Structure 1
Amino acid sequence: MSPCELHPSKERLAVSVQPTHEQATHEKMKLVNICFLSLAIFVGYSVTQEETAEDLAKFKEFKKRHKKTYNGALERVHFKRWKKRRAVIDDHNNQNRPFLLGENIYSDLSEEEWDTYLLGVKIPKEFVNTEEVVVPPESAVQSVGNRQTLPSLDLRNHTCMPPVKIQSPCGGCWAFIATAAVEFQTCIANNGTKTPLLLSEQQLIDCSSSYGTKGCSGGFYSQAWDYLMAIGGQASNATYPYKAAVGNCSFVKDVTPTVGKISRYSFLAKNETAILTAVQKGPIAVSIVTNSNFTLYKSGIFDDDTCKNGTVNHGVLIVGYGRTNSTDYWIVRNSWGTSWGMSGYIFMKRNVNICRIAEYAFLATI
Structure 2
Amino acid sequence: SNDVSWHEWKRMYNKEYNGADDEHRRNIWEQNVKHIEEHNLRHDRGLVTYKLGLNQFTDLTFEEFKAKYLMEMSPVSESLSDGISYEAEGNDVPASIDWRQYGYVTEVKDQGQCGSCWAFSAVGAIEGQYVKKFQNQTLFSEQQLVDCTRRFGNHGCGGGWMENAYKYLKNSGLETASYYPYQGWEYQCQYRKELGVAKVTGAYTVHSGDEMKLMQMVGREGPAAVAVDAQSDFYMYESGIFQSQYCSSRRVTHAVLAVGYGTESGTDYWILKNSWGKWWGEDGYMRFARNRGNMCAIASVASVPMVERFP
Same fold (TM over 0.5): yes
Partner of 2:39: 92
For residue 236 of structure 1, give the secondary structure of its aligned residue in structure 2.
coil
- The CA RMSD over aligned residues, in Å, is 2.1
Instruction: Note if contact 1:121-1:174 (Cα within 8 Å) is conserved in structure 2.
Output: no
Partner of 2:64: 113
CA offset digits 1:138-168 (Å, max 9, x no partner):
x5857x5357211210123431311111112
Matched, 1:241 2:181: yes
CA offset digits 1:93-128 (Å, max 9, x no partner):
111311111111111123343123322263577x43
Partner of 1:278: 217
Partner of 1:266: 204
Matched, 1:363 2:308: no
Match of 1:319 among 259, 275, 280: 259
For residue 262 of structure 1, give the secondary structure of its aligned residue in structure 2.
strand
Matched, 1:333 2:284: no
Runs of 4+ in 1 over 4 A off after TM superposition: 139-142
Partner of 1:128: 78
Alignment of 1:159-198 (within 5 A): 159-190=103-134, 192-193=135-136, 196-198=137-139
Alpha-carbon distance in 2 for matches of 1:360, 1:315: 9
Alpha-carbon distance in 1 for matches of 2:246, 2:66: 17
Unaligned runs of 5+ in 2: none
Alpha-carbon distance in 1 for matches of 2:23, 2:184: 26
For residue 131 of structure 2, give the secondary structure of its aligned residue in structure 1.
helix
For residue 66 of structure 2, give the secondary structure of its aligned residue in structure 1.
helix
For residue 102 of structure 2, give the secondary structure of its aligned residue in structure 1.
coil
How many percent of aligned residue pairs carry the same amino acid? 34
Match of 1:104 among 52, 55, 58: 55
TM-score, reference length from structure 2:
0.89
Instruction: Note if contact 2:55-2:236 (Cα within 8 Å) is conserved in structure 1.
Output: yes
Unaligned runs of 5+ in 1: 1-53
Partner of 2:162: 221
Partner of 2:143: 202
Measured after TM superposition, the shift of residue 328 of structure 1 is 0.9
Matched, 1:56 2:3: yes
For residue 294 of structure 1, give the secondary structure of its aligned residue in structure 2.
helix
Identify if the C-alpha distance between structure 1 residues 326 and 297 changes in structure 2 by more than 3 Å, giving closer, same or farther.
same
Identify if the C-alpha distance between structure 1 residues 183 and 155 changes in structure 2 by more than 3 Å, giving closer, same or farther.
same
Alpha-carbon distance in 2 for matches of 1:237, 1:157: 23
Matched, 1:298 2:238: yes
Instruction: Note if contact 2:242-2:286 (Cα within 8 Å) is conserved in structure 1.
Output: yes
Matched, 1:67 2:27: no
Higher Cα Rg, which structure: 1
Alpha-carbon distance in 2 for matches of 1:58, 1:310: 39
Alpha-carbon distance in 2 for matches of 1:299, 1:325: 15
Aligned residues: 300
Instruction: Note if contact 1:135-1:266 (Cα within 8 Å) is conserved in structure 2.
Output: no
Identify if the C-alpha distance between structure 1 residues 333 and 273 changes in structure 2 by more than 3 Å, giving closer, same or farther.
same
Instruction: Note if contact 1:121-1:220 (Cα within 8 Å) is conserved in structure 2.
Output: no
**Aligned AA (1:99):** Y
Measured after TM superposition, the shift of residue 346 of structure 1 is 0.8
Alpha-carbon distance in 2 for matches of 1:327, 1:80: 36
Identify if the C-alpha distance between structure 1 residues 365 and 174 changes in structure 2 by more than 3 Å, giving closer, same or farther.
same
Structure holding more strand per residue: 2
**Aligned AA (2:261):** Y
Partner of 2:24: 77
Identify if the C-alpha distance between structure 1 residues 283 and 111 changes in structure 2 by more than 3 Å, giving closer, same or farther.
same
Alpha-carbon distance in 1 for matches of 2:298, 2:177: 29
Matched, 1:351 2:301: no
- By relative contact order (CA 8 Å, sep 6+), the higher-ranking structure is 2
Identify if the C-alpha distance between structure 1 residues 105 and 210 changes in structure 2 by more than 3 Å, giving closer, same or farther.
same
